[in-house]
């Protein structure tokens, strides 16, 4: 099948699987006409052309790494939002009283406001705080500037790495605790593709510590190699 036909079929399948009413958070968009929007289009074009995902994540010639990372952070936020939104009805305080990835991995929430010490929370509560926190970061012009020529802050990569490592935890929870629901909805291939894209991107630019990737090590070997 031609790559464009494959992309179209995948796009139609996504619209059926991921009903927009189930999105966990409003989608963050790039303003048309901005440099970030053009870069976003370039990234999407690479994916739609059926390029190998390892190639698709590579920094385009003459583009700035910070811009490339910023575009992907927002894109992954939107996609992972959708993925969690589809299974959120089966992820409750009762079914998932602890935000975890199996018996070995538990994730505690910490922020600068209410939870100043790492705190054990239910998975849906953790997810809600996580998505709110990421939304605040990516909507903050001082961290994710949208105007061409406005420099990124020195802390940008540090913040981007923190966002991506926390988004990885969503994959961990979904794969380990809710993959039967994903399969039931016929979304397995899409979630796997999203994961591969995410994994290749963060490893290409060394954005997540390898220890953080351990919970999905076996699944990654199966899906990504």
Which H/E stretch holds residue 136? helix 123-138
Helix axes 156-177, 65-87, angle to 10 degrees: 30
Cα angle 8, 184, 84 (rounded to 5 degrees) comes to 75
Does the annotation flag 194 for ligand binding?
A: no
Does the annotation flag 40 for ligand binding?
A: no
Q: Is the pLDDT of residue 14 over 80?
A: no
Does the annotation flag 224 for ligand binding?
A: no
Q: Is the pLDDT of residue 215 over 90?
A: yes
Q: What is the pLDDT of residue 143?
A: 94
pTM: 0.82
- Listing DSSP states for 141-173 in one string gives TTTS--STTPPPPTTHHHHHHHHHHHHHHHHHH
Q: What is the pLDDT of residues 37-94, one digit of tens each?
A: 666 666 665 555 556 888 889 998 888 899 999 989 999 999 999 899 989 999 999 9
Residue-range definition of the domain harbouring residue 145: 3-224
Is the model more confident about 205 or about 149? Answer: 205
SS3 17: helix
Q: What is the pLDDT of residue 48?
A: 56
Q: What is the pLDDT of residue 15?
A: 45
Q: Is the pLDDT of residue 203 over 50?
A: yes
Q: What is the pLDDT of residue 49?
A: 52
* Mean pLDDT of all residues in 22-31: 52
User: Could you give the number of structural domains in the chain?
Assistant: 1
Q: Which CATH number characterizes residue 56's domain?
A: 1.20.140.30
Q: How confident is the model at residue 8 (pLDDT cuts 50, 70, 90)?
A: very low
Q: What is the pLDDT of residue 3?
A: 41
> In whole angstroms, what is the distance from residue 199 CA to residue 63 CA?
21
Q: Is the pLDDT of residue 151 over 50?
A: yes
Q: Is the pLDDT of residue 22 over 70?
A: no
Does the annotation flag 66 for ligand binding?
A: no
Cα separations in angstroms, 150 against 74, 94, 163, 197: 18, 46, 21, 28
Average pLDDT, the chain: 83
> In whole angstroms, what is the distance from residue 207 CA to residue 205 CA?
6
Q: What is the pLDDT of residue 60?
A: 87
Is residue 161 within 8 Å of residue 67, measured between CB atoms?
no
Is residue 68 within 8 Å of residue 21, measured between CB atoms?
no
Q: What is the pLDDT of residue 133?
A: 95
Q: What is the pLDDT of residue 42?
A: 62
Q: What is the pLDDT of residues 100-141, one digit of tens each?
A: 998 899 999 999 889 999 999 999 999 999 999 999 999 998
| Chain mean position to CA 204 | 15
Cα separations in angstroms, 86 against 16, 91, 150: 11, 10, 36
* Number of residues assigned to the chain: 225
* Mean pLDDT of all residues in 135-162: 90
């Amino acid at each position: 099948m031609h790559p464009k036909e494959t992309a179209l079929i995948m796009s139609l399948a996504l619209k059926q699987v991921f009903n927009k009413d189930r999105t966990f958070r409003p989608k963050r968009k790039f303003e048309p006409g901005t440099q970030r929007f053009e870069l976003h289009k370039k990234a999407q074009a690479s994916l739609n052309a059926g390029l190998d995902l390892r190639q698709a994540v590579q920094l385009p010639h003459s583009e700035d790494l910070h811009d490339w990372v910023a575009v992907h952070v927002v894109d992954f936020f939107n996609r992972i939002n959708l993925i969690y939104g589809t299974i959120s009805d089966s992820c409750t305080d009762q079914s998932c009283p602890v935000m975890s990835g199996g018996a070995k991995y538990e994730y505690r929430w910490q922020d600068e406001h209410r939870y100043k010490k790492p705190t054990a929370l239910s998975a849906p509560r953790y997810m809600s705080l996580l998505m709110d926190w990421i939304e605040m970061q990516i909507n903050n012009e001082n961290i994710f500037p949208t105007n061409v020529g406005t420099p990124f802050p020195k802390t940008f990569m540090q913040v981007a790495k923190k966002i991506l490592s926390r988004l990885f935890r969503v994959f961990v929870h979904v794969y380990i605790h809710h993959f039967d629901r994903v399969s039931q909805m016929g979304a397995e291939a899409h979630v796997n593709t999203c994961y591969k894209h995410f994994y290749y991107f963060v490893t290409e630019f060394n954005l997540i510590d390898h220890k953080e990737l351990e919970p999905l090590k076996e699944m990654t070997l199966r899906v990504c190699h």
